[in-house]
A and B are shown apart, each in its own frame.
Chain A
Amino acid sequence: MSPLRRQRLWKIGLLLGGVALAVALMIQAFQQNMMFFFSTTEVAQGVAPMERDFRVGGMVVENSVQREPGSLIVRFTLTDYNTPLTVEYEGILPDLFREGQGIVAKGRLNAQGLFVANEVLAKHDENYMPPEVAASLHSPKPTAQGQVE
């Protein structure tokens, strides 16, 4: 092998190695940070993972918002019109959060079946319905296996 060739081979090897490393990092980061979306019914059926964050969407039930006095803790009920799910959140709710409005909450289930949210999203449009929420309100009911018929 000529020195020039060897050098070029080195370079190509280095480049490929770098790209492979980057791709591996990318896929790993991707898998760790993927977050699935579930409807409240799916959460009740136990389809959602217990040990990691996921997103849940639905309508905020009228008169369900309760504040814990003296703190920023707020509890409200989300529903897809089939199954209610109680959500707890500590912090300031977004401007557009209102009862009867579709929202998306990010967080995880605790052992008591309470959804502890670390983020609540209501997008910046008064006519806006999060697309996942809209779909989960209209889509056919999942069966016991979590498959959509």
Chain B
Amino acid sequence: MLAEWGVFALICASWMALLLIGLAWWGAQHEQAALIQLAVAAAWSVFLLTGLAFAILIVAFLQDDFSLKYVASHSSIPMPTMFKVSAAWGAHEGSLLLWAWMLTGWVAAVAAKPGKLSAQVHARTLAVLGFVSLGFLLFILFTSSPFERMAQIPEDGLGLNPLLQDIALIMHPPLLYMGYVGLAVSFALALALLWQAHAPREAFAWARSWTLVSWAFLTLGIALGSWWAYYELGWGGWWFWDPVENASLLPWLVATALIHSLLVSEKRGVLVGWTLLLAILAFAMSLVGAFLVRSGVLTSVHAFATDPTRGTFILLYLIVVIGAALALFSYQAPKLAKTKPLAFVSKESALLFNNVLLMVMTASVLLGTLYPLLLDALNLGKLSVGPPYFNAIILPLTVPLALLMGVGVFIRWREDRLRRLSRVLLWAGLLTGLCVLMGALWVLPDVEGWLVAGVGLSAWVALTASYALWHHARNSGRLSLPSFGAMLAHIGFAMLMLGVTLSSLYGVEKDVRLAPGEHYALNQYQLSFVSVAQDAGANYLTTQARLRLYRGGELVNELHPEKRLYIGHKMPMSEVAIEAGLFHDVYVALGEPLDDQGAWSFRIQYKPFIRGIWLGALLMAIGGLIAVWGRYRRVSA
């Protein structure tokens, strides 16, 4: 009976969303404060009702209510409670409900925190957000209800895909969705501003905080997914340029461009049209991501559905929402355009160039992701573009991007002089050179071009950011939290670049055959294969190998890579063993039995500073959140 209440709550939420659109729009058109107040209440009721529906779904999972098709397909009685809860968002229907709930949460937060927005802009923003929420609520109700009943109630459910029974995967979707749907806020604001053809600076300041929060969540979500892929998939990679990964990278790239162009529009009142366009595109990319993952055009561990009506619905929704937004943009943007010329040597220009680079990256990732799909849909042949394509484009573009990051933190607004700038940057440049020299000496004679570039750019970005922070603190006599956050994010990016450079250039990846008692030398380590044994876990059978890891004759640790077979599932799963350290990881995955002498194949890897990739991403996200917190304190102080 409870499940029907879930559907009822969603229907009520849809009606309230409709009411929200009407009240907010009418209130804005006729400047009726009372109506806007009611719209705020409506926004909260949509949030609470959607939350109720989501809570009911979780209760259904906890009660093992297998009369629900969704529960029966993704849960089973012996599953640990933690995974029963997370199974609620382990597949299409439930994760969409989580998505919708988070979206309505952002809407409620926007309703509660108008900041310095005028009542009219606030109300119109709410109206657009109401429309966006309504679309997702209807999507759930018409094509993807998790509350659908089955005629025959099974004894036990099918269980959750074993790959998803993992702590990182519990957190990965919620974080990512928070980021995706958060971009709806700046999108809605952009439309509200375009509608009135007037974009005051306070509006951009307001949007920047919201965008930073969703950018931080997006960063964390992507990093967590990458970390999961590293230890769970058994390949040792952290990024595969899989279309679904690209789907999350696209909004991230645009959002990164957006937070920087918002800064320009906020501080200087220029690049207004460009900023508004980016706000529209960022949300468009998050919808494109949703389409790719949920329409069934892709097949991967993320791709949930193969029901074509769902794909059609999202595609229509995408066309309506983004098409309307772009139409409004092209009609209204010329009225906003201020032809204030930008000085070439200025922070405005530096940020604009970085924006252009980020958008070129976005376009090339989009091309590489969509072109094969498009060709396939038109029956023109099947092809794929692999990682070499993406690397060939993204890596060279990162060079000017990172160089500009260093210049951008020092260059002055309005107009700067090259002489002053080069004097300030000289020290950072010299220190960078020193870092590259030390790095090159360290790995001698194995120096590669990309090492020089990677170490140099990382050092450059980190040094300029630290120096800028110190410079700023000395001149103003205090540490400003927003700039501390921004510089922390830059340092995080430097760390990420260093992690990527070192782990991909100096990593060792070997598939080897080892018989019991045999050794394998891996840089400064020695691995010795002891034995293989069978065992059983809570809901799986396992084959576990024992290896000893020595360093200079001393035992460091015993590693136990496994191959698990989950009950009810035919697929075996690798559980890798990782000896993790800040500066390098030793990674061992168990392969297959090879012959009668008890030899097995192993995938053995040595990854220098691979932790820098995720630590860097974590620093970026923390930096973003600190910046928001600092801005918030400044506004309320």
Which chain A residues in 26-52 approach chain B with CB under 8 Å? 26, 29-30, 32-37
Does residue A141 face the partner (Cβ distance < 8 Å to B)? no
Please pick, from A29, A67, A91, A130, the residue contacting B389 in the complex, using a CB distance under 8 A. Answer: A29
Does residue A81 face the partner (Cβ distance < 8 Å to B)? no
Complex-state Cα separation, A11 to B513, whole angstroms: 59
Question: Given that A124-B571, A126-B571 are contacting pairs, would A33 and B389 also be in contact in the complex, using a CB cutoff of 8 Å?
Answer: yes
Q: How far is the CB of A89 from chain B (nearest CB, A)?
A: 10
Produce 1/0 per residue, B487-524, CB < 8 A to A.
00000000000000000000000011100000000000
Does residue A114 face the partner (Cβ distance < 8 Å to B)? no
Q: How far is the CB of B124 from chain A (nearest CB, A)?
A: 33
Binding stretch for chain A, among B185-193, B254-262, B390-398, B462-470: B390-398
Tell me whether A36 and B299 are in contact (CB under 8 A).
Answer: no
Residues in B neighbouring A126, C-beta threshold 8 A: 569-571
Produce 1/0 per residue, B262-285, CB < 8 A to A.
000000000000000000000000
Produce 1/0 per residue, A68-86, CB < 8 A to B.
0111100000000000000
Please pick, from A10, A67, A132, the residue contacting B594 in the complex, using a CB distance under 8 A. Answer: A67
Complex-state Cα separation, A30 to B569, whole angstroms: 39
Q: How far is the CB of B458 from chain A (nearest CB, A)?
A: 23
A-B interface pairs (CB < 8 A), number: 109
Residues in A neighbouring B308, C-beta threshold 8 A: none
Does residue B553 face the partner (Cβ distance < 8 Å to A)? no
Tell me whether B511 and A92 are in contact (CB under 8 A).
Answer: yes
User: Which of A18, A55, A72 is most buried by chain B, counting CB atoms within 10 A of its CB?
Assistant: A72
**Consensus secondary structure, chain A interface:** mixed
Say which size band chain B's interface belongs to.
35 or more
Question: Given that A92-B592, A95-B563 are contacting pairs, would A18 and B356 also be in contact in the complex, using a CB cutoff of 8 Å?
Answer: yes
Does residue B165 face the partner (Cβ distance < 8 Å to A)? no
Produce 1/0 per residue, B566-609, CB < 8 A to A.
00011111100000000000000101101100000111000000
Produce 1/0 per residue, A6-20, CB < 8 A to B.
011011000100110
Does residue B34 face the partner (Cβ distance < 8 Å to A)? no
How many residues of A are in contact with the other chain, CB < 8 A? 41
Complex-state Cα separation, A141 to B262, whole angstroms: 56
Tell me whether A95 and B382 are in contact (CB under 8 A).
Answer: no
Produce 1/0 per residue, B360-392, CB < 8 A to A.
100110011001000000000111111011001
Question: Given that A19-B356, A91-B511 are contacting pairs, would A30 and B368 also be in contact in the complex, using a CB cutoff of 8 Å?
Answer: yes
Complex-state Cα separation, A60 to B171, whole angstroms: 37
Does residue B449 face the partner (Cβ distance < 8 Å to A)? no
Q: How far is the CB of A25 from chain B (nearest CB, A)?
A: 6
Q: How far is the CB of B302 from chain A (nearest CB, A)?
A: 10
Complex-state Cα separation, A70 to B571, whole angstroms: 27
Tell me whether A26 and B341 are in contact (CB under 8 A).
Answer: no
Residues in B neighbouring A4, C-beta threshold 8 A: 341
A-B contact pairs, 25 of them (CB 8 A): A7-B344, A15-B356, A19-B356, A25-B396, A26-B360, A26-B363, A29-B389, A29-B393, A30-B368, A32-B392, A33-B385, A33-B386, A34-B384, A55-B384, A72-B512, A92-B511, A93-B591, A95-B234, A95-B571, A95-B572, A96-B571, A123-B300, A123-B301, A126-B569, A126-B571
Interface residues of A (CB under 8 A from B): 4, 7-8, 10-11, 15, 18-19, 22, 25-26, 29-30, 32-37, 55, 67, 69-72, 90-93, 95-96, 106, 123-126, 128, 130-132, 135
The 7 closest A-B CB pairs, nearest first, are: A33-B389, A29-B392, A92-B591, A37-B382, A91-B511, A126-B571, A33-B388
Given contacts A55-B384, A95-B573, 7 further A-B contacts (CB under 8 A): A11-B342, A22-B360, A22-B397, A26-B360, A72-B512, A123-B299, A124-B163
